[in-house]
Structure 1
Amino acid sequence: MQYSLYDASVPVARDSLNSLKAILEKGEAQSNAAELPEAKLHDDMFPLTFQVHLATDLAQKMQARLTGKEPLELQKDLKTFKDMYARIDMVQELLSKTDRDTVNKYTEEKVPLRVGPTKEVQITGMGYTNGYALPNIFFHVMAAYAIMRKEGVPLGKMDYLKPYLSQYVESL
Structure 2
Amino acid sequence: MPVTLHDAFVPTAQQILAGMAKLVDKAEGYASDSGFDDAELIEAKLAENMWTLPWHVRACWVHSGYAINLYKTGGFTPDFTDIPDSWVAMRAMIADAQSQLDAITPEELEAVAGETVGFILGGKRLMEMTGQNFLLSFNQPNFFFHATTFYDILRMKGMPLGKMDFMGPLRVIGS
Q: TM-score, normalised by structure 1?
A: 0.85
- Structure 2 portions without partners, runs of 5+: none
1:95 corresponds, among 98, 101, 115, to 101
- Asked if 1:139 corresponds to 2:139, the answer is no
Structure 1 residues 86-125: aligned runs within 5 Å: 86-114=92-120, 118-125=124-131
SS of the aligned residue for 1:3 comes to coil
- Asked if 1:85 corresponds to 2:91, the answer is yes
Farther off after superposition, 141-150 or 20-29: 20-29
Given that residues 16 and 167 in structure 2 are in contact (C-alpha distance below 8 angstroms), is that contact kept between their aligned partners in structure 1? no
- Measure how far apart 1:168 and its partner are: 2.1
Please give the per-residue CA displacement for 1:62-99, whole angstroms capped at 9, x wherever unaligned.
22134448779563331110010011111211111112
- Asked if 1:61 corresponds to 2:66, the answer is yes
- Asked if 1:161 corresponds to 2:167, the answer is yes
- Asked if 1:46 corresponds to 2:51, the answer is yes
Given that residues 13 and 64 in structure 2 are in contact (C-alpha distance below 8 angstroms), is that contact kept between their aligned partners in structure 1? yes
Rounded Cα–Cα distance in structure 2 between residues aligned with 1:117 and 1:151:
38
SS of the aligned residue for 1:105 comes to helix
What is the percent sequence identity of the aligned residues? 28
Rounded Cα–Cα distance in structure 2 between residues aligned with 1:60 and 1:44:
27
SS of the aligned residue for 2:126 comes to strand
**1:167 partner amino acid:** R
- Asked if 1:15 corresponds to 2:11, the answer is no
Farther off after superposition, 58-67 or 134-143: 58-67
Instruction: Figure out how many residues of one structure are paired with residues of the other and give that number.
Output: 169
- Measure how far apart 1:120 and its partner are: 2.4
- Structure 1 portions without partners, runs of 5+: none
Rounded Cα–Cα distance in structure 2 between residues aligned with 1:41 and 1:92:
26
Cα RMSD, aligned residues only: 2.5
